Amino acid sequence: MEARVRPPAFPMRSTWAVDAAEAGTLALDSLRSQPLRSGLAVAGVVIGIVTVVLVATVLVGVRNGIAGLFRELGTENVFAFHRAGDPYSPASDKDAQRKPLDVRFAAAISASATSVRDAAAQIIVPPIVDGRPLVARYGSNESDTVLVEGATPNFFEITGTEFRAGRPFTDLEHRSAARVAVIGSNVARALFGSTSAIGKAFTLGGDTYYVVGEAAPRRGTFFGENRQDSVISLPAGTVARRFPDATQTILYAQARPGQLEAAKVEVEFVLRRLRGLAPGADNDFSLSTAEQIIAQFDQISEQIGLATFALAAVSLVIGGIGIANVMVISVTERTREIGTRLAIGARRRDVLWQFLIEAALLSAAGGLIGVAISWAIGLLLSLWAPAFPSVPPMWAVVGGLASAIATGMVAGYLPARRAAGLDPVDALRYE
Say if CB 244 and CB 88 are below 8 A apart. Answer: no
What's the confidence (pLDDT) of residue 406?
85
C-alpha–C-alpha distance, residues 57 and 394, integer Å: 10
Closest CA to 44 of 358, 363, 301, 259: 363
Residue 377 has pLDDT above 90, yes or no: no
For residues 305-326, average pLDDT: 78
Over residues 87-112, the pLDDT tens digits come to: 777 777 777 788 999 999 999 999 99
Over residues 280-305, the pLDDT tens digits come to: 898 989 898 877 777 777 777 777 77
pTM, full prediction: 0.67
Phi-psi region of 79 (alpha: psi -120 to 50; beta: other; left: phi over 0): beta
Q: What is the DSSP letter of 136?
A: E
Residue 2 has pLDDT above 50, yes or no: no
Residue 218 has pLDDT above 90, yes or no: no
Residue 205 has pLDDT above 80, yes or no: yes
Torsion of CA 381, 382, 387, 390, to 10 degrees: 100
For residues 127-145, average pLDDT: 87
pLDDT confidence bin for 6, thresholds 50/70/90: very low
pLDDT confidence bin for 428, thresholds 50/70/90: low
Position with higher pLDDT, 425 vs 354? 354
Q: Which of 55-69, 88-102, 136-150 has the lowest mean pLDDT?
A: 55-69
β partners of residue 210: 180, 201
What's the confidence (pLDDT) of residue 121?
94
- What interhelical angle do 43-72 and 348-384 show, nearest 10? 50
* Helices H / strands E in the chain, number of each: 15, 14
Report the amino acid identity of residue 219.
R
Position with higher pLDDT, 61 vs 270? 270
Of the spans 80-84, 128-132, 357-361, 411-415, which averages the highest pLDDT?
80-84
Q: Which of 64-73, 269-278, 364-373 has the lowest mean pLDDT?
A: 64-73
pLDDT confidence bin for 221, thresholds 50/70/90: low
What's the confidence (pLDDT) of residue 71?
67
What's the confidence (pLDDT) of residue 223?
57
C-alpha–C-alpha distance, residues 366 and 359, integer Å: 11
What's the confidence (pLDDT) of residue 341?
75
For residues 158-163, average pLDDT: 88
The secondary element (H helix, E strand) that includes residue 327 is helix 290-333
For residues 341-362, average pLDDT: 78
For residues 155-183, average pLDDT: 92
Q: How far is CA 96 from CA 80, 92, 248, 252, in A?
A: 16, 6, 11, 21
Q: How far is CA 22 from CA 15, 16, 105, 350, 357, in A?
A: 11, 10, 77, 9, 10
Report the amino acid identity of residue 307.
A
Q: Which of 1-5, 106-110, 186-190, 301-305 has the lowest mean pLDDT?
A: 1-5
What's the confidence (pLDDT) of residue 67?
67
C-alpha–C-alpha distance, residues 129 and 242, integer Å: 10
Q: What is the DSSP letter of 227?
A: G
Position with higher pLDDT, 249 vs 357? 249
C-alpha–C-alpha distance, residues 182 and 180, integer Å: 7
Position with higher pLDDT, 34 vs 15? 34
C-alpha–C-alpha distance, residues 106 and 219, integer Å: 27
Secondary structure of residue 269 in the 3-state scheme: helix
For residues 183-206, average pLDDT: 92
β partners of residue 287: 80
Secondary structure of residue 144 in the 3-state scheme: coil
Residue 214 has pLDDT above 90, yes or no: yes
Over residues 392-422, the pLDDT tens digits come to: 778 778 888 888 888 888 888 887 788 777 7
